[in-house]
Amino acid sequence: MAYADPPSRKSWIARNRLSIAPWLFLSPALIFFAIYVVIPIFQSLSISLYEWNGLSDAVYVGFRNYVDLWDDPKFWISLKNNVIWLVLYMLAVPLGLAVALFLNQTVPGMRFYKSMFFFPFVISQVVVGLIFGWFYNPDFGIVGAIWKSIYCEEVINIVGNVSVRCSRTPPDILGDPRFATYGIIFAGLWPQVAYCMILYLTGLNNVSSEQIEAGRLDGAKGWRMLRHVVLPQLWPATFLAVVVTVIGALRSFDMIAIMTQGGPFGSTNVLSYYMFETALSEYGFRYGYGSAIATVLFFIMLIFISFFLWQMYKEERRG
């Protein structure tokens, strides 16, 4: 007989059930998001105004950490490397598309080939870094081996052991400041291309065959077909691929930590690794300075993230 009760007898919860329910379900996520994401962001912003080694008392220094950053050549090297990462990592998008188009055929065993191409994304970045580190090794890596077969000859050294003598020394990709960053990015592209490929493969499944058919009747083929008929339909996949690639480039850390530790002499540092180095590594523990780097990185990411969010917002309003 509850429905017969006058409204005034209903409890507050019962009256507001509809508006409370979503918040109730959202609250666990909101609480954890606040504790682990939102609050630390503000903590980090405030620590960046202090000089603190984690042991002694923190000293308020205003914006001095940022002034120091401005004068720090290693910061600029890191920032420059971040830009190089961003630009070159973008290659993963067209490369992923190319591989996806190539694999989008009906050939016996195609699933197997697809999974082989996807494989690098499944293995951890740390493993990818290690493997490429070996590839690049001038002494026993594949790069060194090929080089030696061209430019080097085997000789017997003074104690009678086999040694190699080269007319040109093999390139030490990770040990040479000119090549090291590109070497790491190349290694990073391998799994990233696979990721973009899988995004495009799922996108290609949804390309309407009627439109392809219609385009074909109108005489479109090859490049024009791709450009005007297929690509527009792949827009959601492209958008996603660009987003994950930008974020992947900005948070590149594991590869650098594994392959060079930022070396040789800091030439492969990026902001995230430089932050770790100053704030948390053996020679660091300048929490304030590290937080200042983190803040800069945060604002760079914020530019991209707001752009992406704005794009998505526009999409939704149109849709």
Partner 1 sequence: MFHKSKAALAAFAASTILATSAFASELVINFDDLNPGPKKGFEDAVEAFKAANPDINVTVNINDREAHKTAIRNFLSADPPDVTSWYPGNRMGPFVDAGLFEPIDDLWAAEGLDKDMAAIQPTMTRNGKIWGVPYSYYQWGIYYRKDIFDKLGLDEPTTWDGLLSACGTLRDAGVTPFTIGTKFLWTAAGVFDYINLRTNGYEVHNDLTAGKIKYTDPRIVKTMENWAQMIDECGFVENHTSMSWQDAIAPFANGDAAMYVMGNFSVDGYKNAGLTNDQIDYFQFPEITPGIPMAEEAPADAFFIPSGAKNKDEARKFLAFIAQPEIQSKWNETIGQLPPNSRATVSDDKFIQEGFAVVSNAAGLAQFYDRDAPAEMAKAGMEGFQKFMVDTSTMMEVLEELDRVQAEVYK
Which residue number, 52 or 89, has a Cβ lying nearer to partner 1? 52
Under the phi-then-psi rule, with left for phi > 0, alpha for psi from -120 to 50, and beta for the rest, what region is 21?
alpha
Which residue number, 107 or 158, has a Cβ lying nearer to partner 1? 158
The minimum distance between CB 55 and partner 1, in angstroms, equals 4
The minimum distance between CB 70 and partner 1, in angstroms, equals 13
Bridge partners, 154 (sequence order): 164
The minimum distance between CB 71 and partner 1, in angstroms, equals 7
- Long-range (24+ apart) CB contacts under 8 A made by 308-315 are 308/239, 308/243, 311/239
Kindly state the tokens that stand for 17.
Answer: 């059930």
Which residue number, 55 or 217, has a Cβ lying nearer to partner 1? 55
- Which stretches of the chain bind partner 1, using CB under 8 A? 53-56, 68, 71, 73, 136-139, 155, 157-161, 163, 165, 169-170, 172, 174-177, 261, 263-266, 277-278, 280, 282-286
The minimum distance between CB 53 and partner 1, in angstroms, equals 6
Q: At CA 179, angle to CA 174 and CA 184, rounded to 5?
A: 60
Helix (H, G, I), strand (E, B) or coil at 231: helix
Which residue number, 165 or 228, has a Cβ lying nearer to partner 1? 165
Bridge partners, 164 (sequence order): 154
The minimum distance between CB 276 and partner 1, in angstroms, equals 12
Kindly state the tokens that stand for 153.
Answer: 């000859």
What CA–CA distance (Å, rounded) separates 269 from 260? 9
Which residue number, 93 or 279, has a Cβ lying nearer to partner 1? 279
The minimum distance between CB 185 and partner 1, in angstroms, equals 17
Longest CA pairwise span in the chain (Å): 105
Strand pairing category for 162-166 and 152-156: antiparallel
Helix (H, G, I), strand (E, B) or coil at 54: coil
Which residue number, 58 or 98, has a Cβ lying nearer to partner 1? 58
